[in-house]
Structure 1
């Protein structure tokens, strides 16, 4: 197989058998598992920042962090059939002891907050407002075009009808974020840390649990907590109330969050990222992907009242359980 030959030439590694490790093709070396990760969507500067992050966390002793391997020429990737690939290696360690995802995420963020280098390309700290407004403006412009076109496609009709509601939700989230930054003050816990583009506990599970640097960005810890809760709501709604709040408590017990963190987290949950991604994916997908996006959108719209209930429950849970954080109320929830 040409891929095995290329890896031998580029890295000096002998690949005997390929197997699936989570989302990636992988192979074993003497004491490690190596994943072959497509990286064509990353700029070189982004990969170098992620490389330094992975080196730092592996040196900090996190047994499940996969670090980039350099080629013989000190490159971060190789090319095969016009696709770029990196190899990320994680030490073979015993299966993790049953640990709570909230505690494990808090410890990960704690270690990563000490990352000493300047990050620019994968940095998102303090940029939510700008990024959300840009995304909202783009989708609103696209929506206006669709309204004028009077489409017959069922998905597009759903998009036209539902967008004003999600526009309102997004505007509320942006205002909530602005108020948080005006009214509250960041604490040491609010310093940037290594976070994930979209975190869910499933990223760290499986037969070969690995923390992959290609999942990372540099941001506020509340991003990961919010995206985990959002994922749980959409995929495990029945368990969400109990397990979601337990996750929050475990995190907060390990690394107590500031009121600024709690409010940032709430603003991110208010922002309907799940809706934006569903619409965007529909227009970027093939037929099978379009069908899947349509099914997701229908379920999302059906569950919109439940999502409001979840947002309301999060707010009241905080004031009851912490006795110290009073989130400003959202009047329509």
Structure 2
């Protein structure tokens, strides 16, 4: 039992286990604890995340989780052949009104001061190689499928749609390369603590807690673009009603440099939602495949509107500026093959 392991390893008596987001959790009178699976992390990456959480706590971030060491001074413990870590935070503040844009800008501002080198959890300067590898892997898989007789509707749709999304991905990679050649990073473009995937529900009034297991060290535009992508894909009414309020709130704390704006746009150009859906379909059990089938249908039906979203983001990045910070991608909105 998890309760017995926690008592043995940490000396903490648990009354009741519950769930917070996707993690097991419990409370004591003064603290909130999360039990997070960490088998997919190397020990050196966990150590980096440990120091990041300690650093943010020192910066008086009221919502950050910190790792609790076992009685033996270990970062992790084993349970049923899996590795876990115990994290501690202040009790969640419920129904607190806040600005996600301003909160994220402040989080990034603090994270830029992290004084140690980050290797395992670092993603700075790696987008081009990671994206290229992803495209190459799916292209190789796509070519295998072309030679077969696709029986599944999902595979047929993937075969037909891949050339379009591969082309969009290549545009994103070229846009990134041009940005790094043509523009110069500013002080606010230095690396900071980011999220592996900053989505609309990563921070909400019920979930302001910062969880180190979700972090990487990267350029701030990673979080900004993924938050905008998630809002567009799954909370479109909010985008229609509030426009680009999130970006405006962020820039009130930290104005985006032209380099930041171009990185933001290159990341939105890369169709990560398409790649993740196709990849997830093939690694998921049969019981979950239907979800990704529906997800792919949604993405394919929406691709024209996604191009319009990209054009709107492009226009927003250049509003109020005498010069064009973010060059256009001229073919967007002129039809596509999917």
TM-score interval w.r.t. the shorter chain?
A: over 0.9
After TM superposition, the structure 1 = structure 2 runs for residues 252-263 of structure 1, keeping only pairs within 5 Å, are: 252-263=251-262
Give 1:22 shift.
Answer: 2.1
After TM superposition, the structure 1 = structure 2 runs for residues 70-219 of structure 1, keeping only pairs within 5 Å, are: 70-92=69-91, 94-95=93-94, 97-205=96-204, 207=206, 209-219=208-218
CA contact (8 A) 2:169 2:269 kept: yes
Could you say which structure has the higher helix fraction? 1
* Structure 1 residues 66 and 323: alpha-carbon distance in aligned structure 2, compared to 1, 3 A threshold: farther
Distance 1:96 1:260 in 2: 36
Secondary structure of residue in 2 paired with 1:186: coil
Secondary structure of residue in 1 paired with 2:194: strand
Q: How many residues align?
A: 332
Give 1:93 shift.
Answer: 5.6
Supply the RMSD in Å over aligned alpha carbons. 1.4
After TM superposition, the structure 1 = structure 2 runs for residues 30-109 of structure 1, keeping only pairs within 5 Å, are: 30-92=29-91, 94-95=93-94, 97-109=96-108
Give 1:259 shift.
Answer: 0.2
- Deviation string 1:270-293 (CA, Å, 9 cap, x unpaired) is 000100000000000011221100
Secondary structure of residue in 2 paired with 1:203: coil
Give the TM-score normalised by structure 1.
Answer: 0.96
Distance 2:66 2:5 in 1: 20
Asked if 1:235 corresponds to 2:208, the answer is no
Find the counterpart in structure 2 of residue 318 from structure 1.
317
Give 1:327 shift.
Answer: 1.4
Give 1:3 shift.
Answer: 1.3
Distance 2:74 2:249 in 1: 40
Give 1:209 shift.
Answer: 3.2
Give 1:5 shift.
Answer: 1.2
Secondary structure of residue in 1 paired with 2:87: strand
Secondary structure of residue in 1 paired with 2:64: coil
Give 1:11 shift.
Answer: 0.7
Give 1:324 shift.
Answer: 5.1
- Larger mean CA deviation between 99-108 and 87-96 belongs to 87-96
* Structure 1 residues 322 and 170: alpha-carbon distance in aligned structure 2, compared to 1, 3 A threshold: same
Distance 2:55 2:264 in 1: 26
CA contact (8 A) 1:22 1:206 kept: no
Give 1:43 shift.
Answer: 1.0
CA contact (8 A) 1:101 1:201 kept: no
* Structure 1 residues 132 and 294: alpha-carbon distance in aligned structure 2, compared to 1, 3 A threshold: same
CA contact (8 A) 1:21 1:207 kept: no
Give 1:208 shift.
Answer: 5.2
Give 1:205 shift.
Answer: 2.3
CA contact (8 A) 1:63 1:93 kept: no
Distance 2:141 2:182 in 1: 34
CA contact (8 A) 1:232 1:244 kept: no
Give 1:238 shift.
Answer: 2.3
* Structure 1 residues 279 and 94: alpha-carbon distance in aligned structure 2, compared to 1, 3 A threshold: closer
Distance 2:324 2:10 in 1: 52
Distance 1:321 1:236 in 2: 27
Give 1:262 shift.
Answer: 0.1
Give 1:49 shift.
Answer: 0.6
Distance 2:96 2:24 in 1: 25
Distance 1:191 1:281 in 2: 32
After TM superposition, the structure 1 = structure 2 runs for residues 285-296 of structure 1, keeping only pairs within 5 Å, are: 285-296=284-295
Give 1:67 shift.
Answer: 0.8
- Larger mean CA deviation between 216-225 and 88-97 belongs to 88-97
Secondary structure of residue in 2 paired with 1:68: strand
- Deviation string 1:104-163 (CA, Å, 9 cap, x unpaired) is 000000011000011100100001001111111111001000001121110000000000
CA contact (8 A) 2:168 2:269 kept: yes
